[in-house]
Amino acid sequence: YAYGNQPSIALWNLTRLAECLLPLLSHDEDAAVDEAKEALSAFRPAFEQSYQAGLRRKLGLFSEREGDATLARDLLHAMAANRADFTLTFRRLADAALDPARDSEVRSLFADGAAYDEWTVRWRQRLEQEPAKAAERRAAMRAVNPAFIPRNHRVEAIIRAGVEREDFAPFEELLTVLSRPFEDQPEYASYQQPPQEHERVLQTFCGT
């Protein structure tokens, strides 16, 4: 379930699917295996291209330039090292892209704010190479960086409420929130918050 493992597990799943399809590819087993391998070899490049394009959109970059992958990677590494929440970081970056004075809202998510300060200098230099207006960039970033996600601790609380008390009101409320994930919905701001240490979900299952 780890974020960094998704490409590998996706390829693993595709490989298992390919194994099931071998009899349909060719009556010759070796030929079928070769055809499957050729198809699977296209996954990594296709994934990387789509992944990098997605990261550029999250960072408000409309064009592709050398160094973009490093810029995105360095932010992700800084976020991991400083326990900066993934969803909140990217959402607040959209506002910081419009108004540099709001950098403090992103900075506050990092255990060591200097890590963000160092990165944002490079990010703003990169933004200067884009022709888009700041308001256009913010709107585009807000369209791909959700304000709300189904956080594990919220889902766990909902499951317990339903199973232990037959109370489905929390489920209905979260469903309402998640029906508009890219809108701010200030009345549900608490749903944006990451879990407290005692709320962290350490084990999850396919069924959830």
Phi and psi, residue 45, nearest 5°: -60, -40
pLDDT for residue 204: 72
Distance of alpha carbon 27 from alpha carbon 137, whole angstroms: 53
The fraction of the chain above a pLDDT of 70, given in percent, is 98
pLDDT in tens, 141-198: 999 999 999 999 999 999 999 999 999 999 999 999 999 999 999 999 999 999 988 8
Q: Where are the domains of the chain?
A: 3-41, 62-142, 152-199
Report, as ranges of residue numbers, the positions in the chain whose pLDDT lies below 50.
none
pLDDT for residue 207: 60
Give me the residue label for tokens 């394009």. Answer: 53
Q: Is 43 left (phi over 0), alpha (psi -120 to 50) or beta?
A: alpha
> Which one-letter amino acid corresponds to residue 97?
A
The closest alpha carbon to 123, from 165, 82, 67, belongs to 67
